[in-house]
Structure 1
C-alpha cells in the first residue's frame, strides 16, 4: 500500500499538501493524523506543525494498466494505453506497432489478456469493474466481420433450408451474432455446446 507523510500548519493543510504531491482527490486516500499542531511556548518557541499519513486507496483500473505495461514489457513490446470511461465499462485501448501477437488468432490472445486484466482490476477494487481491452480497433473490425458473416449464413440457411452451425466463439462474439439476427424475419439463432466450445446455430424459424 502506497503511503506518504505530509505536514502543515493545520491538519487540513497537511492533508492538502499530501494530496497535491500525489495529484489526487481526498476520496482516493485514507488519512491518519500522526501529530496535532501546537503553538509552542508563548506561541513562539517549540511550535510543531501537524503531521498526517496518507494511504493511497487501490485503484483497480490503474493496477490493470500497470499489469498490462508489465506484460507487454516482458514481451518486448512498446505499447501505449488509452483509457476511455464508458457508461457500463472502462475501455483500455492498446496502441503501438506489432500488436498482432497481442491480438492472436481471431482475438483469442486479446480475450485471454482481457480476462486476466479484469481479475487484476477487481482484486484491487471495492466495486465490480468491467474492463474491455482493445488493440488497433480489433473489436470494431471483428464486430463488422461477424455481422457480415451472420448475414451470409442467414442467406445460406434460407437458400438451402438447412441450419448452419458456426465455429465456437466467446460469449461476447455470440452476442454480436444474436443481436444482428434477432429481428430477422426468417431465421433464428440459438447457442449449443459447453464453453469453450459453445457455438451458435442459425436455423429457419
Structure 2
C-alpha cells in the first residue's frame, strides 16, 4: 500500500487542511487527516504563537492507483465519461470498459487494449512486493478472442497429430499463448511449447513424440508462407492427395497405440471476430 502525504499549515486547523489538500491536488473528502499541532495564539498579540500543522494523507492501493491512471489516460484519449466497471478478485482486478464509440480502445487484434493493460499493471505494481494482476476488457472482446484462439489451437493440434508435422503460430502475448497451450492439452497425442524472444515469441504445436518441422524454402530459411488463419506449415506435400478419410476415430501416425484422436464432427470453423490471425514475420 502506497501512502501519499503532505503537511499543511495555517492559522487554524481548517486552513491547514486546505493547505495540505492543495499540495496533494485532492479534495477534502478524499483524504485523511492527522492533527500534529494546534494553533497557538501570540502572547498579548505580539510574542510567540505558532500555526496549526496537519498531516494530510491518502492510502493508495494497487487498485486505486490503476483506476486513477486509466481515468487520466482515457481523458487524454478523449474518452471523458467511460463506463468503467471494476471487479476485484484474490489475484487482482478486472476493469471492463463500455460505452459508445470506444472500439478504438481495443485496437487491431486487441493491441491497444493489451498496451493499456500492460501499462496499468506496471503503474499499479511499481511499489508493491507482491504482484497485483490488472486485466482490462471492453465489452466481451476477451471472451470472443479466447473462443477464436481455442478453435484455432484445436484445429492445428489435430492437424499436427494427423500429419506428424509441427505447426508454428503467429507471435502472441503471454495471455493468448496460455489460451493456446490450454486448448492443446485437451487434444490427445498433441503438445505445445513456446519459442522466440519478446515480441517474436510464438507457440509451436506438434505430436507428442515429436514431429517434422515445416518444409523450408531454399535460400530464405523460412517456412512455407502462412495461411490466413495463422497456420504456418505442415500437411501433406503438394501433388500427393491423402487417402480418403473415414468418419469416426482414427489412429494418428506416431501416437501411442492406446490413444485415439477424435476429430470434432459437424463443427463449423470459427472465424476470428476481431481480425485475422496474422503470420509470424
When normalised by structure 2's length, the TM-score is 0.55
| Higher normalized helix content (fraction of residues) | 1
CA contact (8 A) 1:59 1:125 kept: no
When the two chains are superposed, the root-mean-square deviation of aligned CA atoms in Å is 2.8
For 2:198, what is the secondary structure of its paired residue?
coil
Distance, in Å, in 2 between the alignment partners of 1:197 and 1:163 is: 18
| Mapped pair 1:120 → 2:123 | yes
- Deviation at residue 138 of structure 1 after TM alignment: 1.4
Runs ≥4 residues deviating over 6 A:
4-7
**Structure 1 residues 30, 118: closer, same or farther in 2, change over 3 A?**
farther
When normalised by structure 1's length, the TM-score is 0.73
1:43 aligns with none
| Mapped pair 1:73 → 2:75 | yes
Distance, in Å, in 2 between the alignment partners of 1:30 and 1:202 is: 58
1:102 aligns with 105
**Structure 1 residues 119, 56: closer, same or farther in 2, change over 3 A?**
same
For 1:110, what is the secondary structure of its paired residue?
helix
2:260 aligns with none
CA contact (8 A) 1:30 1:57 kept: no
**Structure 1 residues 180, 64: closer, same or farther in 2, change over 3 A?**
same
Gaps of 5+ in 1: 8-20, 37-49
Q: Deviations over 1:17-63 (max 9, x none)?
A: xxxx7378xxxx57453339xxxxxxxxxxxxx98534112233222
Q: Deviations over 1:86-120 (max 9, x none)?
A: 12121111111222211112111111111111122
- Deviation at residue 4 of structure 1 after TM alignment: 8.9
1:192 aligns with 195
The number of aligned residues is 176
| Mapped pair 1:202 → 2:205 | yes
Larger radius of gyration: 2
- Deviation at residue 131 of structure 1 after TM alignment: 0.9
- Deviation at residue 163 of structure 1 after TM alignment: 1.4
